Chain A
Amino acid sequence: MPKTTKTIVSIGTAVLISILGFYLRYKNHTLVPLPGESTDEYSYSWVGLSLIELGLPVSRSGLTGYGGNDYRYINVDRIFSTTAGGSPLEINQPWLDHPPLLSLITGGYAYLSGARVFEDATARVIRKPLLLFGVTTIILVGVLTYQLVGAAAALLAMALLATSPLVTVTSRMIQGENGVIAAFLASLIFLSSYLTKKKKIFLWLAALAAGVGLLFKVSGIAVAVCGAIILFSQENKKMALKFWETALFLTISLSFLALFFVYGAAFDWSTFVIVWQSNSTRPYDIGFGSLLDLLTTTKITVSKRLTEGWPLVGWISVFLLLAVEKRRKLFSFVVLPVLVYLIIFLLMGGSAYGWYRLPFIPFLFIAVAVILTEGVSSAEKLLPVVLTLIPLGMTVHKLSEAHRLAAIIPFWRYGLPAVIGWFLFVKRIRLNRFLYVALILAALAANVWLNLSLTPEFYLKIN
C-alpha cells in the first residue's frame, strides 16, 4: 500500500475509533455510573458554581481538617431517594480539598447551561465536559503511541481505550484524575517531540501541560516528576544542558502548584494548611494487600467493581516491557509513568478508590497495544494470544450475565484449549496471523457489546 494511502486509512480509522469512543461514552452517561454513587462529582461542580456565584469555593468534603461542618440535604438528581444514603452532606467553605480547574470546567459549563443553584448541577449537565475529556484522551493516547512505536499500535491502543467498559464508565465521572490523564499524555507527547525535534517550544508546552495536570489534582505532581526524570536521564547530552532543561521544566510545572497555594491563601491560609495536612495524613498504602488489589481488581468507586481483564493484561505487558524491552523510549514514556504514578498512588493511600487508579490505564493499554501489535509480525504468537484470551474470556463472562449465551459457552470452553493448542503446534504463518487478528477484533467487539449492554439495571447487577 502506498504511504499516502496508508496514512489516510490510519487517520480515517483513528477518527472512526474516536467517534465510537464518544458514542460509547455518551450512551447512558447520565445514568451510569449512578448519579450520587460518588458525590465527589457534584462536589467538584459545586465548587465551580459557588466560585462563580459567591466568589468563594463551597462544597462537600468530609475531611476532618475543616473543623465544623454545615450539614445539608441537597437533593440533586434525587440522590437521597437512591444512592446518597440517609446522612446529610457535610458542606465546607472555603472548600480547598483540590485545585479548582476541573471545578471551574464542570461548574462553569453548568453555569453556562443555566444552573444557578446546587440542585441545578445534575449529572446530565455536569458530565458533558467529561465526554470531551474522554475523547481527547483517546486521541492523545493515539498520538503518543504513534510517536513511540507506530500507527498499528496507536490504533490498537486507541481502540482499547475507546471500547474498554471500565474506561467508558469511569471516564464519565467528574474526578480530577480524568484531567490528570489528559495532561499527563499531552506533557509526554510534547516531551517526546522535544527529544526528537529539539525545539524549545515543545519543552515549554510539556512543562505547561504538566502544570495544568497539577491544577486538576495534586497527584498530577506525577507528571512533573516523570517529565523531570525523563529530561535528566537523557543519554548523550551534556550534564549542564540536562540540568537547565530540567530546571526550566520544573520551574514552569511546579509554579502551577504554587498557584494553588496562592488560591488557598486568598481564601483562608490556615484552613488551606489544615486541609493539606489532613490530606497528607492518609495511611501509606504500600503492602502486599493493596498491591494485589491494584493488580487484580478493577474498581469504579470504593465498593463498586466492573471486572475487566484489560488492566490485568496491561500490568503483565508493563512487566514484559520492563523485563525484556531494550528500547529506552518505551521505558521512559510507558513504564516510567506507571512507576512514578504508582509511588504517588501508594503514598496517597489511593487503593480504596477506583478513580485513583485511572492514570495507570492509558499506559497499561499502550503497553498491551505494543505487545499485541508485535505479536502480529512475530512468528511466535502464543503469548499475545493468551494475553488476548484473558480479557476476551472475562468480557464474555460478563456478557453471559446480561444475555443468554448458553449456546456459545461450550464452544468457548472447548474452543479455548483448541485455540491455545493451535497456536502451540500449527505454524502456518499467514493463517495464524489472520486468526490472531480476528481474535483481537473479537475481544474489541466483545468490549463494545458489553458497553452497549451496560444499562443502569445491568450495571447494578454486575461486579
Chain B
Amino acid sequence: MSKEARVFLPQILWYSAIWLVVASALFLILRYRRSTLYSKEKYEALLTTVSDKRQKATDPCQFFIAGDPVNANGNFAKAIFYCDKQRKAVSTLDLSVLTTPDYRSMLEEVGRINGFSTEEIVKDGSWKCFDDQEQIFNFSDKIKLKSRVECFFNFTDGEIRTLYAENN
C-alpha cells in the first residue's frame, strides 16, 4: 500500500462508517416522524386553513380569482357576486378542488379563497343566487359544469331581470 493510501484510506473508511450510521438514523427518524405526525386531518388543515394574518375581505366583491383554470377541461364554474349596483367580482373555480360538487361547497370554497364568509349568502335571505339565470333554492344541489353562478345582494327580482335583459 502506498504512503498516500495509508493516509487517506482510513479517513475514507472512517467517514463511510460514520455516514452509514447517520444515514440509518436519518432513515429511521424520518420514518418514525411520518408515522407519528401525519394524519389526513392535519394535512387538510395545513393546506386549507385561512391564515390569521391574511386580511379579511369586507365583502365578496373586494377580492377575486383572476384568470381561468386553463387545465380544468371544462370542469369549472364561475361565481359572480353583485355587492351593489356598481360593484361585482368574478371568480372562476376549478371544480376538481371540491370534495362535494354542490353549490354550497363551491361558494364556500370561493369564500375561503377570497377571505369572506358565505354564511349570509347560503342561509340568510339577503342574497339571491342564480345558476344560468335560474334561481338556486337548494344549495346542496349538484353544480353543473361550466355553470355561471350569480349572487345578488339587495337586488329586487325586477332589478335582476333588468340586469339579465341588459346582459343578453
Contact = CB atoms under 8 A, between A and B. Distances in A.
Interface of A: 49-50, 53-56, 58, 71-76, 78, 80-82, 84-88, 91, 93, 116-120, 122, 238, 240-241, 243-245, 247-248, 251-252, 255, 258-259, 262-263, 265-267
23 contacts: A50-B46, A54-B43, A55-B38, A58-B43, A73-B113, A76-B54, A78-B54, A80-B66, A86-B66, A87-B70, A87-B71, A91-B47, A119-B53, A120-B53, A243-B4, A251-B12, A252-B15, A255-B16, A259-B22, A259-B23, A262-B27, A263-B26, A263-B30
B65 interface: yes
A440 B39 CA distance: 59
A117 B51 contact: yes
A119 B92 CA distance: 20
Given A85-B70, A93-B43, A266-B31, 17 more contacts: A53-B37, A54-B34, A54-B46, A55-B38, A58-B43, A73-B65, A78-B54, A86-B68, A86-B92, A88-B94, A117-B49, A119-B51, A122-B53, A244-B7, A255-B15, A262-B23, A267-B30
Interface in B3-30: 3-5, 7-9, 11-12, 15-16, 19, 22-23, 26-27, 30
Contact of B27 (A87, A116, A266): A266
Given A80-B66, A266-B26, A248 B11 contact: yes
A119 B94 CA distance: 19
A56 B38 contact: yes
A91 B48 CA distance: 12
Interface magnitude class on chain B: 35 or more
Contacts of B42: 53-54
Nearest to A82: B66
Interface of B: 2-5, 7-9, 11-12, 15-16, 19, 22-23, 26-27, 30-31, 33-38, 42-43, 45-54, 63-72, 92-94, 96-97, 109, 112-115
A53 B4 contact: no
B4 A55 contact: no
Contacts of B115: 75
